[in-house]
Amino acid sequence: MIIRQIYIAILSFPTAHYISGWRPVSRTFHLVTLLLIDSGILGIGEGTPYWSSIADDYAKVLSLARKIQEMYLEDALNTLRSSEYSEFRKGRQVNYGAYLALESAVIRALAQSKKAKYEAELLGGVYRTKIPVTYTIFLSHPVIMSRRLEEAIKSGFNHVKIKIPCNLEELRKLLEVLYSVKKQYDEKVVLRADANECFSTFEKAEKALHIMEQYGVGIVEQPMSRNMLRDIAKLRKEFHPAIEIMLDESLRNPSDIELFAKLEVTDAINFHPSKLGCLTITREAILQTQKLGMKVNIGSALMTEIGFSHYLNLATSIPRLDYPLEEPGLYNLYGYGITREPIEIINGKAILHSIDVSDLDYSMMKKFSVNSLFRERLLMLMSKGYRGLIKVKMLSLYRSL
């Protein structure tokens, strides 16, 4: 099973939401990769930039593609893993999206070659076929957010993540409204506040958590800057067990996990493959975290159905799922579907899927594909060193089939 050709597409979707602190998110970018194997098997994968740009990740995926083209699938998988681990050890800025896009495609091709229905069978096993999903409410007016919470509860979600304002008075007013909805419909619903490093001082973070405790918030994600671990540890000690602390932005490298455990800084860590790259590396880090006594959340990067299916397979392969999967897929948030039958969330759960090339809606992919002129500009700016070396056909997927 040798990789003969690699096709790469960049997709981009307009969005309109705010994360904590009223920071806008107006567009998402996606690397979609297709591997053509000598046996005729096609593997498809997706990755999104994290702490990097789509230009950087595009240049990186071209470089990695050159390395693995003409390799056996198993060798390609090992090469991607060893290359990423090498970058971790050297303390480099890793282009996680590039690794995820290629490794997930390799795993999908391997699964097909072994007649496995799901990638999870290769990752570690199928422990569930219905995966609970978190409902995310982006920052907006309190009335709008309260309607979203009501909708979430009525739709069968039992874990709701909310983006919050950094201003304490705004925070109090928002939580007062949400708490009334929670009391009215279901007090057992877990509210998780994602601060996105919102609070700049320990004193402000402490006041914020007192407000959150008062209004029934059970989990606070990344209350302070990623490097303020000792202050976050103090918050955890003060508010435990009423509030769980979850780290997200603080995680940059698998080796950080042991530091978190040593400092007793957190109850849980938010993982998603777009943060640590290879699915296999992410899964190993998740299992290590649980062995060290911390919980694990599998986070979100707003993926198309391709990436969503990979996230579902990752969640399925974890024996103990501490929280619902956070990734809802772009279709369930914005209605952007690139498959003929999008993966829907029903009663707070998604059914395990694996996406193949035959499932794709090429008209939708063409509609949201970044045009060839932009791709050429990216190449000129970011990958001059790679030009002439890459034996990869840089065509959009909809043109290649």
pLDDT digits (tens, 9 = 90+) for 44-84: 999 999 888 898 999 999 999 999 999 999 999 999 999 99
pTM: 0.92
DSSP string, 49-71: -SSS-HHHHHHHHHHHHHHHTTS
Contact present, 52 and 26 (Cβ < 8 Å)? no
Q: Which residue has the tokens 């090469």?
A: 79
Whether residue 241 has a cis bond before it, omega within 30° of 0: yes
Q: Considering the chain, tell me which residue range(s) the CATH 3.30.390.10 domain(s) occupy.
A: 3-117+359-400
Helices of type H across 19-114: 54-68, 73-89, 96-113
CATH superfamily for 3-117+359-400 is Enolase-like, N-terminal domain (3.30.390.10)
Percentage of the chain exceeding pLDDT 70: 92
Sequential DSSP letters for 138-176: -S--HHHHHHHHHHHHHTT--EEEEE--SSHHHHHHHHH
Mean per-residue pLDDT of the chain: 91
What is the rounded CA–CA span in Å between residue 232 and residue 224? 7
Check residues 238 and 357 and name the one with the higher pLDDT: 238
Read off the pLDDT band of 202 (50, 70, 90).
very high
pLDDT of residue 382 exceeding 70: no
Predicted pLDDT of residue 398 = 37
Where along the chain do the CATH 3.20.20.120 domains lie?
121-358
> pLDDT at residue 400 above 60?
no
Helix/strand/coil (H/E/C) assignment for every residue in the chain? CEEEEEEEEEEEEEEEEEECCCEEEEEEEEEEEEEEECCCCEEEEEECCCCCCHHHHHHHHHHHHHHHCCCEHHHHHHHHHHHHHHHHHCCCCCCHHHHHHHHHHHHHHHHHHCCCCCCHHHHCCCCCCEEEECEEECCCCHHHHHHHHHHHHHCCCCEEEEECCCCHHHHHHHHHHHHHHHHHHCCCCEEEEECCCCCCCHHHHHHHHHHHHHCCCCEEECCCCCCCHHHHHHHHHHHCCCCEEEECCCCCCCCHHHHHHHHCCCCEEEECHHHHCCHHHHHHHHHHHHHCCCEEEECCCCCCHHHHHHHHHHHHHCCCCCCCECCCCHHHHHCCCCECCCCCEECCEEECCCCCHHHECHHHHHHCECCHHHHHHHHHHHCCCCCCCCCCECCCHHHHC
Report helix, strand or coil for 123: helix
The Cα–Cα gap between 108 and 320 comes to: 23
pLDDT band at 32 (very low <50, low <70, confident <90, very high): very high
Q: Do 245 and 232 contact (CB within 8 A), yes or no? A: yes
* 3-state class (DSSP) for residue 188: coil
d(C-alpha 309, C-alpha 338), whole Å = 12
**The domain defined by 121-358 carries CATH number 3.90.1300.10:** no
Instruction: Band the pLDDT of 14: cuts 50, 70, 90.
Output: very high
Cα distances (angstroms) measured from residue 162 to each of 142, 268, 352: 11, 17, 25
Tens digit of each residue's pLDDT (9 = 90 or more) over 241-250: 999 999 999 9
The pLDDT of residue 379 is: 52
pLDDT, one tens digit per residue, over 217-237 is 999 999 999 999 999 999 999
**Residue-wise pLDDT tens digits, 80-99:** 999 999 999 988 778 999 99
